[in-house]
Amino acid sequence: MSNLLNVSASPHVRSQVTTRVIMRDVAIALLPAAAFGVFNFGIKALITILTCIAASVLSEYIYEKVLHKPITTGDYSAVVTGLLLAMNLPATAPIWMSIIGSVFAIIVVKQLFGGLGQNFMNPALAARCFLLISFTGRMTDFNIKTIEISTSTVDSVVSATASATAADALATATPLGVLEGGGAVNVLDMFLGLTKGTIGETSAICILIGAAYLLARRVISFRIPGAYLGAFAVFILIFGGHGLDMNYLAAQLCGGGLLLGAFFMATDYVTSPITPRGQLVFGVLLGILTGIFRIFGGSAEGVSYAIIFCNLLVPLIERVTIPTPFGIRKEAASNAK
């Protein structure tokens, strides 16, 4: 028997946490918001979700099969991409548009750059922006049946009473559109999710339930979402034009894709910084950009463009936030860079 020690190449730390496990947890965390989207918007939302998932998985399988690459559909990354894309689409989106978006996300943004771990921006958000630019009218069409809700105050206790019937939604703007036009919105409705919007962004409480699951499972940390939401809140209070109006701030936090983006897309392992300080810088930049797009831009939203733009800055952010190794002076580390 040899006395030599056989040492494998680094890294030597082994973990049971695989890509498959992480993606599975993300998919599970998205289920509450997805289920509520189906409840709120009906069978059309379910069809959109299933179409995006199926098209994403099939696109990845065909691409890898044709190019004789290892088949990676079993790691659930394509499932998560399809689900995230569906959450960012209106329930009125036709099937062909869901397929186009899914193919664009998987083939163009993910696979052409080397597959999982090599894409430079979030595939689902890139596909959403592509569809928004190409089919603006359809991407902003929220004229679908939703559940009516009325709120009343009794002895200072707010209670929500859901109507027994679903009524045709009027061709009105989303809550953020109403806010941009100077109107008032019901924050409780926005928190519960009984408003207009894309399939997965309307219910703040469902998104927060999923986020709590990811935090509990340690799939994500609170560093990026906390910095993102905190910077955005400060920006809104300073530049929002409503002073310290907490109702307006709450509406901005609950509205649009802010919570969905902060917890599920800005925290993407591939397209976010790996350094602790870099994650904080990344989150702050996201908050500022989202605030700029919402307050000073022509659109009431801005989360998708903010995240994609900051995805492009990740290499630079990581370079300037690399921790100084123990025993090396900061001056020497700076010269080495």
Distance, in Å, from the CA atom of 32 to the CA atom of 64, rounded to the nearest integer, reads: 31
The secondary structure of residue 325, as a DSSP letter, is P
- Contact, 196 vs 164, CB < 8 A? no
User: Quick one: pLDDT at residue 322?
Assistant: 86
- Structure confidence at residue 329 (pLDDT): 63
Do residues 123 and 114 touch, judged by C-beta distance below 8 A?
Answer: no
pLDDT of residue 9: 58
pLDDT on residue 326: 66
**Amino acid identity for residue 273 in this structure:** P
**Of 260, 254, 265, 298, the residue nearest 140 (C-alpha):** 298
For the chain (length 337 residues), average pLDDT per consecutive 10? Answer: 57 70 95 95 95 97 94 93 96 95 96 89 94 91 60 34 32 71 83 89 94 95 96 94 90 92 94 94 96 86 92 93 71 55
What was the pLDDT predicted at 149? Answer: 44
Question: DSSP secondary structure string, 278-300?
Answer: HHHHHHHHHHHHHHHHHHHSSSS
Q: Contact 265/127 with Cβ under 8 angstroms?
A: no
Contact 293, 305 (CB under 8 A): yes
CA nearest 212: which of 225, 194, 202? Answer: 225
CA dihedral 99, 104, 107, 110 (to 10 degrees): -120
Q: Is the bond preceding 11 in cis, omega lying within 30 degrees of 0?
A: yes
Q: Is residue 175 a contact partner of residue 234, using CB atoms and an 8 Å limit?
A: no
CB of 239 closer than 8 Å to CB of 295: yes
Q: How many CB atoms lie within 10 A of CB 267?
A: 24
CA distance 205 to 259: 10
Output the pLDDT for position 315: 93
HSE on the CB side for 14, CA within 13 Å? 3
Half-sphere exposure of 99 (CA within 13 A, CB side): 4
Q: Quick one: which of 253, 293, 258, 286 has its CA closest to 272?
A: 286
Q: Which amino acid is at 6?
A: N
- Grouping H, G, I as helix, E, B as strand and the rest as coil, residue 146 is strand
H-run or E-run covering 232: helix 223-239
